[in-house]
């Protein structure tokens, strides 16, 4: 990426559980050209390139593209068709991803990439009535390993997650990680905690958490995307 460009890395999910769209804004910068071009590359869960395309739109408008037509060849992981979307456009632009599950849309900004000796933190509330899906994307050319450490109460279980080069991964927190931990106190109510992410020094990785609170009907379910800081 040059100094005249901005690049973002998104986890994107496909049908039947998700619908994903890309949004590109020209921001407040005044452009000389009449059109703005964003280049997109889509990688599979294992990091294999699946598709590439460009988005062109007038600088006075936001560029919006539905991603489903480009995602038909994505592999399934955990029952979800998913991939790693890389978006590059001129400096000053901003990228967002609209993720919809059922009737619940959300617009999220580009996740923060962490690497070297950096750490990222994501606040979280645990409870039997909540479900969390950890979403990872790997922006580096090597397999990345990230240590996921969960702090709640006096407990701090830890796991290591591997993500293929340029690939992505989705990990159910409760069903896959916490079920392997002997403590079940988190199931008794709303327990405040946070997740610390520590990637290997050579890694460049981003994480988001999709939180689902079930409702009596599909329409009353609540979804929100938690991002690192």
Residue with structure tokens 């327990």?
Answer: 191
Q: Which 3-state string (H, E, C) describes the chain?
A: CCCCEEEEEEEEECCCCCEEEEEEECCCCCCCCCEEEEEEEEECCCCCEEEEEEEEEECCCCEEEECHHHCCCCCEECCEEEEEEEEEEECCCEEEEEEEECCEEEEEECCCCEECCCCEEEEEEECCCCEEEEEEEECCCCCEEEEEEEEECCECCEEEEEECCCCEEEEEHHHHHHHHCCCCHHHHCCEEEEEEEEECCCCEEEEEEEEEECCCCHHHCEEEEEECC
Contact assessment for residue 164 and residue 143, using Cβ atoms and an 8 Å cutoff: yes
Nearest to 83 by CA among 135, 132, 38: 135
pLDDT at position 218: 60
* pTM for the full predicted model: 0.89
**For each successive 10 residues of the chain (229 residues), what is the average pLDDT?**
82 86 77 77 97 86 88 90 94 88 81 88 89 94 93 92 95 88 83 91 88 71 75
pLDDT at position 96: 93
pLDDT at position 126: 92
pLDDT at position 162: 94
Do the domains 114-227 and 5-109 match in fold? yes
Query: What are the sequence ranges of the domains in the chain?
Result: 5-109, 114-227
pLDDT at position 153: 87
> Has domain 5-109 been given CATH number 3.30.1050?
no
pLDDT at position 220: 64
pLDDT at position 104: 74
pLDDT at position 52: 96
Query: CA-to-CA distance for 48 and 45, rounded, in angstroms?
Result: 7
- Under CATH, which number does the domain 114-227 receive? 2.60.290.11
pLDDT at position 214: 75
């Amino acid at each position: 990426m040059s100094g005249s460009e901005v690049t973002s890395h998104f986890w994107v999910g496909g049908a039947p559980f998700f619908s994903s769209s890309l949004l590109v804004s020209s921001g407040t910068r005044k452009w000389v050209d009449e059109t703005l071009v964003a280049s997109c590359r889509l990688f599979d869960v294992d990091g294999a390139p699946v598709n590439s395309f460009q988005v062109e739109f007038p600088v006075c408008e936001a560029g919006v593209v539905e991603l489903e037509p480009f995602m038909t060849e994505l592999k399934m992981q955990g029952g979800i068709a998913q991939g790693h979307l890389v978006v590059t456009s001129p400096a000053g632009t901003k990228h967002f991803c609209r993720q919809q599950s059922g009737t619940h849309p959300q617009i999220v900004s580009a996740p923060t990439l962490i690497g070297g000796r950096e750490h990222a933190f994501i606040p979280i509330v645990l409870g039997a009535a909540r479900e969390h899906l950890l979403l990872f994307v790997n922006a580096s050319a090597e397999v990345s390993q990230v240590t996921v450490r969960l702090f709640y109460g006096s407990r701090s279980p830890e796991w290591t997650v591997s993500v293929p080069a340029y690939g992505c991964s989705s990990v159910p927190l409760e069903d896959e990680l916490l079920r392997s931990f002997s403590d079940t106190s988190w199931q008794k109510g709303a327990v405040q905690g946070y997740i610390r992410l520590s990637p290997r020094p050579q890694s460049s990785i981003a994480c988001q958490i999709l939180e689902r609170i079930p409702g009596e009907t599909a329409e009353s379910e609540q979804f929100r995307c938690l991002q690192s800081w």
